[in-house]
């Protein structure tokens, strides 16, 4: 991470302006915005400033942000503090190939020579995930590696009128920040994943392979156990079978629309899926959740 | 054959012939056959393995040299009218476990067998006659099928009383299993096969791979939802110990009995015995009805 000692108030970046414009109170922070603010804070703050914020100390005369930027930073630091308290991430300061863990209990580190870099440690996520039996394959790619999606990229679609400032990818910052609500087991994990707007990889795989498995006819294997009926109605069964390619196509389109926020079009896809296979509980579930999303006001076209 | 004291609890009510079949190659038919056979042999049952695959992998896995396989050989047993079973069988290093080996000549004989009018029932006729003559024959006969749905697999399915279908958690493997079902249904109609499914065995399973766990769950849900408890409870995980044992010409339950793979196969052997006993009580269902009549 590049560390800048110059007062940030003199050259406020678009990142912080966007964050300021979108966030009014800490309670309004969504998980995605919280991650964005955490990254923004890591971009903007030096180690000294971050430590001052975390320990409620005055950052000193060298740090004189504008009121708007100060508000954004305070939200960002609140987000980091919350994440640290929840145990979902660890902050490490790297200096001269040595790392210093930063915790709320003992946030002071010796800063001498070259200014340290700050990293949120990936390993902390894996440790936190292990008890829930979630695996790396279940996580989104963005959660595993360095986060290259900057706040500027997120905000560009929302604030097209603002001039885009090119931000360097955070190559040095390995940030893995999870919403504390997701830290649970079983259904709670799934609920958390759904609230974040994505499906786990296993759910995605299930949706891909379910139509393929459903159409497989294993009845011939059970002729000796159950009786002979396979040859008589095989033709009928095959002709009435749902085309797996069509199922996969509709499912992918529907999921794409849903991820893009176009719940109306997603609903049309899921309705067609339900009509094709009325007995499929997964399709009915997708249809129902999309209805709920539209009812909640998320029907953006 | 080296003798191991027989465990009274392992005794079965009759002689059973179990085929390990799947059209797909590389799903663990041979490995499962040899290790279940060795596990049950170690338990005290007299087991005869028959290698129906011209690639002769089962023969190699039990350490039988090709020269000996050629001298004995399934093709000789099937082609000669009066060849005694004991003459065709080769002894192995595993106590209570014998092998009717295969050799590349079996591939040539397969073509001949396919042209014969009663070719699909040849093994059944031979085995029934020889096993009834033997009197003190094996308790279990395990058939290792080739990775095809040709006449040798058909022979195995017609001769078998039960079958185990090894599958890997891959879509092609599951599709091959469905194809096998079509063959079984056809054989039931055309050749009077009465083979019952003893169970579906998931092999080469890696619980850390999302695809494996997903397909395993989907298959389990489908089988248990539509047909009942026909999945073997524990999938066999992929293991280096199995490959090492294959290279050494000995089953992993003999070569490395404390490895997880060996323990899994020992548990599978117990499950096979339990299911056979359940079948004696009619739990696996029975249909020897009018199809072939």
Q: How confident is the model at residue A100 (pLDDT cuts 50, 70, 90)?
A: low
Angle, helix B151-159 to helix B122-134, in steps of 10 degrees: 40
pLDDT at res. B38: 95
CB contact under 8 A, A137 and B180: no
| pLDDT under 70: residue ranges of chain B | 1-13, 132-136, 283-293
Q: What would the pLDDT profile of A38-85 be if each residue is shown by its tens digit? A: 665 555 555 556 656 655 666 565 555 566 666 666 666 666 666 566
Same domain as A224, residue A97: no
- Whether the CA torsion A131, A137, A143, A145 is positive or negative: it is positive
Q: Which of B278, B280, B265 is nearest to B41 (CA)?
A: B265
Give which of A221, A234, A235, A238 to mutate to test B binding, by max B Cβ within 10 Å.
A221
Token couple for A260 = 């893009």
Token couple for B30 = 């041979």
- In this structure, are residues B148 and A194 in contact, taking their beta carbons and an 8 Å threshold? no
Q: For residues B85 and B111, what is the distance between their CA atoms, to the nearest angstrom? A: 23
Residue A128 lies in a domain: yes
Token couple for A65 = 């942000």
Residue A274 lies in a domain: yes
CB contact under 8 A, B215 and A213: yes
Residue A1 lies in a domain: no
Q: For residues B144 and B31, what is the distance between their CA atoms, to the nearest angstrom? A: 9
Q: Given A149, A183, A217, which residue is the final one in a domain? A: A183
Q: Which of A97, A1, A121 is nearest to A49 (CA)?
A: A1
CB contact under 8 A, B209 and A227: no
Q: Given A151, A183, A215, which residue is the final one in a domain? A: A183
Contacts of A234 in chain B (CB under 8 A): 182
**A138, A217, A225: residue with CB nearest B210:** A138
Token couple for B49 = 């393995």
CB contact under 8 A, A138 and B175: no
Judge residue A71's burial from the number of C-beta atoms within 10 Å of its C-beta, 0-12 exposed, 13-18 middle, 19 or more buried.
middle
Kindly identify which residue of chain A lies nearest to residue B207, measuring between CA atoms: A135
| B250 CA: distance to closest CA in chain A (Å) | 31
CB contact under 8 A, B211 and A205: yes
Same domain as A205, residue A178: no
Q: Given A130, A149, A183, which residue is the final one in a domain? A: A183
Same domain as A105, residue A212: no
Whether residue A243 is predicted with pLDDT greater than 60 in this model: the reply is: yes
Average pLDDT over residues A206-226: 86
Q: What would the pLDDT profile of A5-35 be if each residue is shown by its tens digit? A: 333 333 333 333 322 223 333 445 555 555 5
**B181, B210, B227: residue with CB nearest A205:** B210
- Using alpha carbons only, give the angle B217, B33, B87 rounded to the nearest 5 degrees: 165
Contacts of A218 in chain B (CB under 8 A): 177-178, 181, 222-223, 226-227
Same domain as A177, residue A216: no
pLDDT at res. B162: 94
Contacts of B165 in chain A (CB under 8 A): 221
Same domain as A139, residue A210: no
CB contact under 8 A, B181 and A210: no
Whether residue A143 is predicted with pLDDT greater than 60 in this model: the reply is: no
Does residue A130 sit at the B interface (CB-CB below 8 Å)? no
Give which of B160, B174, B176, B181 to mutate to test A binding, by max A Cβ within 10 Å.
B181
Range of the domain at A215: 201-295
- In this structure, are residues B204 and B238 in contact, taking their beta carbons and an 8 Å threshold? yes
Residue A196 lies in a domain: no
Does residue A288 sit at the B interface (CB-CB below 8 Å)? no
Same domain as A147, residue A18: yes
- Domain B13-48+109-279 part of CATH 3.40.50.970: no
- In this structure, are residues B284 and B278 in contact, taking their beta carbons and an 8 Å threshold? yes
Same domain as A256, residue A178: no
CB contact under 8 A, B214 and A206: yes
- What number of residues does chain B have? 293
Q: Which of A146, A144, A94, A98 is nearest to A117 (CA)?
A: A94
Return the number of other C-beta atoms located less than 10 Å from residue A73's C-beta: 25
CB contact under 8 A, B181 and A206: no
Same domain as A227, residue A127: no
| A223 CA: distance to closest CA in chain B (Å) | 6
Residue A193 lies in a domain: no
Mean pLDDT estimate for chain A: 56
Q: Residue B38: how many CA atoms within 13 Å on its side-chain side?
A: 27
Return the number of other C-beta atoms located less than 10 Å from residue B100's C-beta: 26
Residue A208 lies in a domain: yes
CB contact under 8 A, B181 and A222: yes
Number of domains in chain A: 2
User: What is the model's pTM?
Assistant: 0.57
CB contact under 8 A, A226 and B227: yes
User: b/e string for B124-137 if b means 16 or more Cβ within 10 A?
Assistant: bebbeebbeeeeeb
**B182, B194, B214: residue with CB nearest A202:** B214
CB contact under 8 A, B178 and A138: no
Q: Which of A15, A9, A7 is nearest to A165 (CA)?
A: A15
Residue A46 lies in a domain: yes
pLDDT at res. A26: 43
Same domain as A145, residue A13: yes
- Whether the CA torsion A73, A79, A81, A84 is positive or negative: it is negative
DSSP H helices, chain B, are 29-43, 57-61, 66-71, 74-79, 85-88, 105-115, 122-134, 151-159, 171-190, 210-226, 240-248, 252-255, 260-280
**B186, B218, B287: residue with CB nearest A206:** B218
Q: For residues A154 and A37, what is the distance between their CA atoms, to the nearest angstrom? A: 11
Which positions ≥6 away from A217 have C-beta within 8 Å?
Answer: A230, A234, A237, A238, B178, B181, B182
């Amino acid at each position: 991470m590049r560390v800048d000692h110059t007062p940030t108030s003199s050259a406020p970046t678009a990142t912080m302006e966007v964050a300021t414009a979108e966030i009014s109170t800490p309670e309004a922070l969504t998980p995605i915005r919280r991650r964005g603010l955490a990254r923004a804070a890591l971009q903007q703050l030096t180690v000294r400033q971050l430590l001052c914020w975390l320990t409620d100390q005055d950052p000193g005369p060298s740090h004189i942000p504008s009121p708007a930027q100060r508000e954004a930073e305070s939200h960002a630091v609140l987000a980091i503090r919350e994440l640290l308290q929840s145990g979902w991430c660890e902050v490490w300061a790297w200096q001269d190939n040595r790392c210093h863990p930063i915790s709320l209990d003992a946030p002071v580190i010796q800063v001498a020579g070259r200014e340290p870099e700050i990293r949120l440690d990936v390993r902390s996520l894996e440790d936190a995930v292990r008890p829930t039996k979630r695996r790396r394959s279940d996580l989104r790619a963005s959660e595993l590696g360095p986060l290259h999606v900057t706040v500027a990229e997120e905000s560009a679609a929302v604030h097209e009128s603002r001039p885009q400032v090119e931000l360097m990818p955070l190559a040095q910052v390995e940030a893995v920040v999870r919403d504390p609500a997701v830290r649970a087991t079983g259904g709670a994990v799934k609920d958390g994943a759904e609230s974040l707007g994505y499906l786990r990889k296993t759910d995605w795989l299930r949706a891909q392979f379910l139509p393929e498995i459903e159409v497989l006819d294993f009845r011939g294997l059970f002729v000796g156990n159950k009786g002979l009926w396979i040859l008589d109605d095989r033709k009928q069964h095959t002709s009435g079978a749902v085309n797996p390619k069509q199922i996969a196509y509709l499912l992918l389109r529907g999921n794409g629309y849903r991820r893009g926020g176009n719940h109306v079009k997603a609903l049309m896809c899921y309705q067609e899926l339900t009509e094709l296979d009325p007995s499929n509980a997964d399709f009915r579930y997708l249809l129902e959740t999309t209805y709920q999303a539209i009812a909640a006001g998320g029907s953006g076209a | 054959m080296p003798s191991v004291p027989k465990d009274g609890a392992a005794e079965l009510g009759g002689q059973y012939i179990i085929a390990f079949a799947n059209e797909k190659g590389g799903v663990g038919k041979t490995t499962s056959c040899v290790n279940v056979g060795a596990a049950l042999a170690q338990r005290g049952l007299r087991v005869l393995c028959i290698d129906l695959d011209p690639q002769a992998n089962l023969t190699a896995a039990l350490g039988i040299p090709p020269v000996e396989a050629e001298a004995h050989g399934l093709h000789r047993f099937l082609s000669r009218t009066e060849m005694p079973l004991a003459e065709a069988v080769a002894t192995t290093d595993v106590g209570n476990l014998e092998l009717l080996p295969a050799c590349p000549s079996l591939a040539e004989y397969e073509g001949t067998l396919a042209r014969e009018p009663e070719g699909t029932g040849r093994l059944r006729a031979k085995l029934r006659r020889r096993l009834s003559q033997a009197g003190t024959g094996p308790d279990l006969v395990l058939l290792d099928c080739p990775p095809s749905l040709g006449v040798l697999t058909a022979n195995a399915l017609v001769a078998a009383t039960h079958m185990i279908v090894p599958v890997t958690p891959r879509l092609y493997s599951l599709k091959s299993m469905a194809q096998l079902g079509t063959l079984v249904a056809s054989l039931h109609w055309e050749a009077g096969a009465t083979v019952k499914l003893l169970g579906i065995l998931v092999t080469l399973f890696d619980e850390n791979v999302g695809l494996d766990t997903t397909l395993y769950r989907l298959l389990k849900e489908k089988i248990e939802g539509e047909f009942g408890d026909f999945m073997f409870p524990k999938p066999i995980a992929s293991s280096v110990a199995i490959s090492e044992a294959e290279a050494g010409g000995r089953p992993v339950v003999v070569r490395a009995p404390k490895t997880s793979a060996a323990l899994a196969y020992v548990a599978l052997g117990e499950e096979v015995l339990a299911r056979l006993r359940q079948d004696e009580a009619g739990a696996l269902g029975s249909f020897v009805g009018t199809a072939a009549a």
